[in-house]
Structure 1
C-alpha cells in the first residue's frame, strides 16, 4: 500500500499526520454534509496533552503561537481524514477559522494563523488557498493559545 500524496507532502515538509483527537465536550469533532467536511475547533494537542497554553503576547511569543496554529491544522486534517478516509479526497480547503488567546494589545492574530494557512497551501497547493477569519479572544478552552476549525470540500 502506497502512502497518500497529501501525507507524502506533509512528510516532505517535516510533519506527520497525528491521530484525530477525541472530543473534549458534548459535540462531534468532524461532520460531513454533502461535499463539505467541517471540523470542530481543534486545539494544539498531542494525544491528550495540550502543548501551547496561555495568552499570546505575554505568556507565549508569536512564533510559539504560529506553531500552535500549525499543530491545530494538523489535528484538523487528521479529523478530515478520519471522516472521509483519505486527504487525497480533499479538492479544496474552503475556510479556516482561527482564534488566538490574546493578551491586551496583541493584534497580530493573522500572523499567528498563518501557521495553519501556510501549511495548508504547502500540502494542497492552489486548492489549499482559503477564506479565513483570524480573531483574538480573551480566553479559549483549556487555556489553549490557539483554536482552529477547517472547512474542506471533498469528492467521493
Structure 2
C-alpha cells in the first residue's frame, strides 16, 4: 500500500500506524454506509497487544494517559485506511466516542480523550475537528485504560 500524504504527516510527528488491529469479539472493525464509515471501538493496544491498563490511579500521568487515547486513534486510522484505501480519502472526522476506565467521580476523562482528538486535528486540520462524547466507565475490554470509536466521512469510491 502506497504511503499517503497523511501518513507522511504522521511520520513527521514521530508516529506510525500499527500493522494490524484485530477485533476481540464477533464484530466488524468498520461498516460503511454511503460515504460514512462507522468504526468500532479500538482499545490502547499495539498490533493486538494491550499497552495501557485501567482504571486510572491516583497521581496518574496525564501525558501518558493521553498517549493511550492516541494509540486508540492510531488503531482507528489503520482501519480507516483499510476501508478507504488511503487516509487521504478522509473528508471529515465527524464524531469520536471515548471511554476511559476510571473510578467513580474521576473528573479528567475528557482531558485523557484529548489524546485521540488532538491527533485527528493535527493530521486533518479543520476536517479533523469533530463532535465527541467522553465518559468514564468501570472497565473496558482487556482491562484497557481507554477505548475510542469514530464516525468519519470518506470520499465516494
Q: What TM-score bracket applies, with the shorter chain setting the length?
A: over 0.9
Q: 1:83 Cα shift? A: 1.0
Distance 1:50 1:59, change over 3 A: farther
Q: Which runs of 5+ in 2 are unaligned?
A: none
Specify the alignment match of 1:46 in structure 2: 46
Q: For the aligned residues, what is the CA RMSD?
A: 1.5
- Structure 1 Cα separation of the partners of residues 57 and 17 of structure 2: 28
Aligned position for 1:36: 36
- Cα distance, 1:81 vs structure 2: 0.5
**CA distance in 2: counterparts of 1:59 and 1:48, whole angstroms:** 28
Number of residue equivalences: 156
Measure the CA separation in 1 of the matches of 2:45 and 2:92.
Answer: 24
Structure 1 residue runs of 5 or longer lacking an equivalent are none
In structure 1, how many angstroms separate the alpha carbons of the residues matched to 2:104 and 2:94? 30
Matches of residues 77-156 of structure 1 in structure 2 within 5 Å? 77-155=77-155, 156=157
**Alignment correspondent of 2:66:** 66
Distance 1:120 1:80, change over 3 A: same
TM-score by length of 2: 0.94
CA distance, structure 2, for counterparts of residue 99 and residue 14 of structure 1: 25
TM-score (norm 1): 0.94
- 1:107, 1:146 → 2: CA distance? 15
